[in-house]
Amino acid sequence: MKKIIVTLSVVAAVFLLIYASLVIYVLHISKQDTKVKSATIVVLGEKAISGTSCFGPRCQQGFVENPHYNVCLESRINQAVYLYKNHYAPKILMSGGTDAGDMVSEASTMKIIAEKDGIPAADILVENKSTSTYQNLAYSQKILNKTGLHSAIIVTDPATNARAGLVASHLHYSYSLSPDMNSPCSHSFNYILTEPLAIIDYYLSGKI
C-alpha cells in the first residue's frame, strides 16, 4: 500500500509540474504577435451565432435582436481585416465547419462579415468542414497546397495561440502568429484550465 501511495504521489507531482508549465507557456505565447508578410491569413473558426447581447466592434453596446453574430468571431475577422488592409497578405482563408449548436457555417459567416468590412470576395478562401483547431489547420493546409499559398499568418484568440502554433509546427506549416488581442472571449479559465488540458489531449492523440 505504501508503494502505491508513493507512486501515486510522484505521478500527481509530475502531472502538476507539467500542468503548471503549460499554464505558464499558454500565458506567455498568448501575448506573442510574430506576424510577417505571408501568402495568406488563416482565420480559425468560432461559433457563428451567439445570444442576445452584442458588444462587438461592429455593433453598438446593448441588446440586439436574437440571433446575431458571435462577437468572438467578429473580433477575429477584425484582426484578419486589419492584416489584409495593411498588406501583410493578399488572401484570407476562413476555416470553420457547421456548428452543432446553431447549424450555421462558421467559414461562410466569416466570409460574409469580411466582405461587409471591405474584403473582396475573390481574395477570400473558405474551408468549411473543420470542427476543431487541429482540423482547422489540417484541412486549411490542403487548400493552401492546392492554391500554391505556402506561408500563413494564423489568427485566433490569445488563449488558443499556443495550441495553434504547436499544431502548425506539427503539420510543418511556414507560419507566424497574430492573435486577436482585442478579443472579448479569452478569459482566465481558458488559460488556466481549458488550454493546458487541450494541449495535453492533443499531445496524447498525436496532434502536436
Ramachandran region, residue 88 (left: φ > 0; alpha: ψ -120 to 50; beta: rest) = alpha
Which grid coordinates are listed for 180? 486577436
Q: What are phi and psi of 35, to 5 degrees?
A: -55, 140
177 beta partners: 154
Alpha carbon distance 53, 116 (integer Å): 21
Q: Which of 45-84 are b and which e, b meaning 16 or more Cβ less than 10 Å from the residue's Cβ? A: bbbbbbeeebebeeeeeeeeeeebbbbbbbbbbbbbbbbb
Asked if residues 84 and 115 have their Cβ atoms less than 8 Å apart, the reply is no
Assigned domain for 15 exists: no
What pLDDT score does 9 carry?
74
How many CB atoms sit inside 10 A of residue 9's CB?
Answer: 10
Assigned domain for 4 exists: no
Assigned domain for 10 exists: no
Assigned domain for 119 exists: yes
pLDDT digits (tens, 9 = 90+) for 101-127: 667 789 999 999 999 999 999 999 999
Assigned domain for 181 exists: yes
pTM for the structure as a whole = 0.86
Tally of domains in the chain:
1
Residue 131 is part of a domain; what is its CATH number?
A: 3.40.50.620
Assigned domain for 160 exists: yes
Assigned domain for 1 exists: no
Domain enclosing residue 150, as ranges: 34-185
pLDDT tens-digit profile, the chain (208 residues): 777 777 777 778 888 899 999 999 999 999 899 999 999 999 999 887 665 444 444 444 444 455 678 888 899 999 999 999 999 999 999 999 987 666 778 999 999 999 999 999 999 999 999 999 999 999 999 999 999 999 999 999 999 999 999 999 999 999 999 999 988 877 767 777 899 999 999 999 999 9
Asked if residues 149 and 40 have their Cβ atoms less than 8 Å apart, the reply is yes
Assigned domain for 161 exists: yes
Helix (H) or strand (E) holding 93: strand 92-95
